[in-house]
Amino acid sequence: MKNTLRTCLLAGLLLLGWTSPMCGAELKAGGFLRFEFPELPDTLYTMHTGKKTVPMMSVRLPVNYSKDGKFPLFIWLFGGTGGDGSGCGAGRTITEDKDYIFVGMPLFKKTIVRDEPYNGLAIQPKRDADVICAAMGTMLRKLYETIPNIDTSQNAIGGTSNGAHSIAAIFYKGDAYLMERLHNLILAEGGFWLNKVENLKGKRLLIMYGDQGGDPRAAIIKDATGLIQKAQQQKIDVTGFVMENTGHDLPKKFMPNIKDWLFKGREGMSDSLI
C-alpha cells in the first residue's frame, strides 16, 4: 500500500513538472529539480525563524532548454533570512524564463549574535565566509554532477542585501572552486564592503544601489561608489547602476536593466540562445 501511494505521489509531482534528482533527473525544457542536503548545517532561515527545514536547492530549466545546447547558471540569493531554498530565484523574471538554468539557494551563517545590528541577521564575512563557501560548494558540485551541459564561462550569480553579502563573502575568502565558476556578479544593495577587489579580476560586476534614504543610506552609497572606484582602478569590468527613487530594495522595474547587462556580456553567442 505504501509503495502504491508513493508511486501515485511521484506521478503527480512529475505531471506538475517537478523531478527528483534522487530518482534520476529528467532534463527537459521547463523542468524543475529539487535537491536536499540534510548533511549541511541549518540555513540562516532556520536559525533565525526557528522553523526547521532541510537545506535545499531548487532549479528550473529554461523554456528553451535543450540537451544539445549550452546553458549557464543564474544563481540568485535573496536578502534577509534568504528563505528556505524552495524557490528558483529572481533570474526567471529577469530573463523571462529563458536562456539560463535558474538556481535558488538558501543563505548560511555560522552563528547569530542577537545583540549585533539587525538582530544578528547580517552576514559577517570574517565569521561566516567558511560556512557559506562550504555549503554553496556542496550544492554547486551536485548541480554539476546532474546537469552536463552547463556553460560555466557565462555563469551568473546575483543577490540583494544579505544575499549580496554572501556573494561578496565568497570573494572575500577567495574560494577557488566557487570563483572559477562564478563570472557575472550582481550585487544589489549589499556586499559593498568587499575590499579584496583583486579576487574580482576576470569577472564582470554590476553594482546596484538606491539613491533614497537618510544617514544609513549615505554610508551604503559611499561604500557602493567606493567599490566601483576600487574595481575601476584594478581594471575590472564594473558597471554602477543607481536605482532612482529607491531605498534598500530591488524593484522589478529595474530587472530589464539587469537583463541588458547580462546579455551585453554574452554578445557573439549563437542566436539560438539569445
Residues 231-273 have pLDDT tens digits of 999 999 999 999 999 999 999 999 999 999 999 987 644 433 3
Q: Which residues are 156's β-sheet partners?
A: 74, 184
| E strand or H helix at 118 | none
Asked whether residue 4 is assigned to any structural domain, the reply reads no
Give burial (CB, 10 Å; 0-12/13-18/19+) of 87: middle
For 148-168, the DSSP string reads S-B-GGG-EEEEETHHHHHHH
CB 101 within 8 A of CB 64: no
Residue 69 belongs to a domain: yes
Question: What size, in residues, is the chain?
Answer: 274
CATH code of the domain covering residue 34:
3.40.50.1820
The answer as to whether 15 is a domain residue is no
Residue 22 counted as domain residue? no
Domain count, the chain: 1
User: Residue 191 carries which DSSP code?
Assistant: -
In a domain, 243, yes or no: yes
Q: Which domain holds residue 149?
A: 29-267
Asked, for residue 120, whether it belongs to a domain, the answer is yes
Grid cell in block for residue 16: 506538475
Tell me the per-residue pLDDT of 19-47, one tens digit each, with 9 for 90 and over. Answer: 344 434 589 999 999 999 999 999 999 99
